Structure 1
């Protein structure tokens, strides 16, 4: 592993004398508040309704330029690159957990974060510390300021680096300076034009393809598959968990074009799934899988996965196939490391169950496919319980598609909004869309109680007042609502358990 050194501090005066116009770009990063202020002042497409994905704003040249000025940290880090409509974060976390258990120092970059931005940058299972994070931002800021000055001086419609480009650069710089053995990088949006797509991966993976971010990636699974298969590199193995025929065909064609060996779920590897619990008291649901590669005569039975659901079993099988490709090129990964890494994985807001009276489930599902996966798990873990839903989502999501799946499954729904992101849909609009469905002949027989609350805290108060000890409360629709309500749910469970 080639070591990285801290990037130099760039002097904006080099651009032409340090004028007051240039000086306005300078910002001193001295603590967490100033680091946050710098990052949150950038263009952040996680916080806007319209993402100009196909415009000149989304291009890899600026990302490459940023990394070049930082000493090309991506050239000194071994990478596994993971894309997909759903499951990419979980799959990336599974791979990193196994590699940690195999004795490798492993970096993990995922998005979005739930509570702290440092959660995006993980080494050896630990989120980046506050002091190190501030130091990394301080290293990146002068380079970004230099690029801002150049963009302002340019006659073209150029902008400086975006929030996600900067956080990607911070991740690569961190992993390089910390001398990780391997970094697992989750794609942010799409694949082809995503800022992570400058990496030089050992293996790539595409977990699943379904309709999401259609305004940016395309209105069909074929178009979306084209964008996500943009991470496939010449002669680099790609593992696909995609079962959909059209999307699978696109991935196969792209892999063949680049000479990339392709392993496909259902053909080159497969799995069997069963729901299980961590104890007789049903404290936490999990998955048990059997993984097999028919052609290679490889099989592992009774693998415990710390995340419940058939969709997580599928993600685990993709992770194991990726690990198999790493084994082929010399990485020492025992079956025991695979078992321990998958069993010990904790991944918040992915069908996260707080076993209590009532039971609380927190999940970041935000598209039709992930809502379907969530409902499948709820039917397994609480087939006879009365279910109540807290729902909030973003304005670019298929609200009607999600409501059609959710309405038949819940006794009552409280619509709300998250407060820390402006893309939230109003509770009034969500409630009206739900009522429109309930007036339709398909749903007219349903008796679903609809309520609205303006914020997460009042929503939680109403829901806990309505719920009985045998009920199930589900929080879903977005990672943003999951983040804002998860802490309240944990406090509620702690209080209830303390009162027993």
Structure 2
């Protein structure tokens, strides 16, 4: 344990040296490795910053990050200092905790880590597996940064599950459960009912819950949990509705939404894909709850917040001619949403898929959603994480699902080089399957585009 960290590189190396469940094989851990005792003790040593900052807490299998991003943008457009905590990051660790879209500087980041070091040392010397993990320290750094920068509110994306997630010690004004489907089954359970139990663990007594859950088993669990804990529950399709989704004369997606207190008309949805209309609907339902708590959120500010939202690696176009889209879809539902978005905007182009995946995911389920909609397949394995599925296994899965041959590339850069060679200027290259694949290629492609423009 260092006494003091001097450089940004040392700070990152220190954090990455902690136990990191984002990079450990799924079979190497279980729910017994996740508990709130460590996080609770760490926050106590920090002076309990989470008790001084109101929060919006968002869980779900899909859409939670986009919903968080929309809410953060709305609050910032309304004049509030809003902290946003998300995971994982794409390019820089500090992307995980921003304020009104701005990351801490490297010097601020070094200072935050140094202020935590004495508390980490104290906990490392405690008995009973109290050494804080990578994700717990990321959460603690976010709370410390938000407190020191005097944010008015924090929007928190659950990292894994909900019940035992490090974010679940927050004091929310509203909790949100976007939806529930099968993901992280090794930790959360093999059935939708079990997974919903973990997601619904964020529900708090007396605190309103907004939910887009539709699966009958998940819905039953969310309703039961809210009833037991006295949390007023508002459901998509029952208490608030997406009435219409359409394009305006500038081909900007707009939605009409009704809630128990508002009738939102022609609200813009800047993020691509039909599924983002549902996420925006959930965000508007949360806005109504905040208004009931006397937060000043005007219609114009909400509209501006939705229009200006940015969410990297979610059906994100990062290059043209050929069009290059990166998307961090890593479960079958996200893959289906990606395909729906492509079908809206790229119907006449040849599609080239660059794909890698993580071992604890339903890789076959993801591929079933994607393969019928692509003309050319390039399989690879990302380098920066041992959980990557091997080329041999990916090839076996693809061969079991389609007769279309797949190209194999030893690493993401080789896959990108091959995809470029296979594409014409009118084609679309889609890079998806994992956050880790997107992280390894997104900055490389962006730099190539900048070099071409210069």
Give the TM-score band, short-chain normalised.
Answer: over 0.9
Whole-Å separation in 2 of the counterparts to 1:276 and 1:452: 39
Aligned partner (choices 291, 298, 301) of residue 334 of structure 1: 298
- Partner SS for 2:383: coil
Matched, 1:182 2:153: yes
Q: How do residues 158-177 of structure 1 correspond to structure 2 at under 5 angstroms?
A: 158-177=129-148
Matched, 1:270 2:241: yes
Whole-Å separation in 2 of the counterparts to 1:174 and 1:278: 42
Whole-Å separation in 1 of the counterparts to 2:254 and 2:357: 31
CA displacement, residues 285-329 of structure 1 (integer Å, 9 cap, x when unaligned): x63211112x43x21111111101121111111111111111101
Aligned partner (choices 39, 49, 60) of residue 63 of structure 1: 39
Whole-Å separation in 1 of the counterparts to 2:226 and 2:114: 39
Other-structure match for 1:290: 256
Matched, 1:246 2:217: yes
Other-structure match for 1:13: none
Matched, 1:464 2:420: yes
In the TM superposition, residue 492 of structure 1 has moved relative to its aligned partner by 4.2
Whole-Å separation in 2 of the counterparts to 1:70 and 1:494: 43
- Which moves more between the two structures, 426-435 or 489-498? 489-498
**C-alpha distance 307-267 of structure 1, shift in aligned 2 (>3 A):** same
Matched, 1:52 2:29: yes
Whole-Å separation in 1 of the counterparts to 2:249 and 2:380: 33
Other-structure match for 2:232: 261
Alignment size in residue pairs: 453
Other-structure match for 1:365: 329
Q: Is the 8 A contact 1:411 1:449 kept in 2?
A: no
Q: How do residues 473-492 of structure 1 correspond to structure 2 at under 5 angstroms?
A: 473-492=429-448
Whole-Å separation in 2 of the counterparts to 1:185 and 1:390: 31
Other-structure match for 1:405: 369
Other-structure match for 1:441: none
Q: Is the 8 A contact 2:38 2:130 kept in 1?
A: no
CA displacement, residues 10-32 of structure 1 (integer Å, 9 cap, x when unaligned): xxxxxxxxxxxxxxx34421221
TM-score, normalised on structure 1?
0.88
**C-alpha distance 305-79 of structure 1, shift in aligned 2 (>3 A):** same
**C-alpha distance 78-289 of structure 1, shift in aligned 2 (>3 A):** same
In the TM superposition, residue 171 of structure 1 has moved relative to its aligned partner by 0.5
- Partner SS for 2:238: coil
Q: Is the 8 A contact 2:245 2:256 kept in 1?
A: no
Aligned partner (choices 89, 99, 109) of residue 65 of structure 2: 89
**C-alpha distance 273-472 of structure 1, shift in aligned 2 (>3 A):** farther
In the TM superposition, residue 458 of structure 1 has moved relative to its aligned partner by 1.2
**C-alpha distance 289-342 of structure 1, shift in aligned 2 (>3 A):** same
Matched, 1:417 2:393: no
In the TM superposition, residue 274 of structure 1 has moved relative to its aligned partner by 3.7
Q: Any gaps of 5 or more consecutive residues in structure 1?
A: 1-24, 281-285, 439-443
Matched, 1:319 2:257: no
CA displacement, residues 331-355 of structure 1 (integer Å, 9 cap, x when unaligned): 0000111100010011110000236
Matched, 1:126 2:106: no
- Which moves more between the two structures, 389-398 or 415-424? 415-424
Whole-Å separation in 1 of the counterparts to 2:124 and 2:346: 53
Matched, 1:435 2:403: no
Aligned partner (choices 71, 79, 96) of residue 55 of structure 2: 79
Matched, 1:237 2:208: yes
Instruction: Calculate the aligned-residue CA RMSD, in Å.
Output: 1.6
Q: Is the 8 A contact 1:273 1:313 kept in 2?
A: no
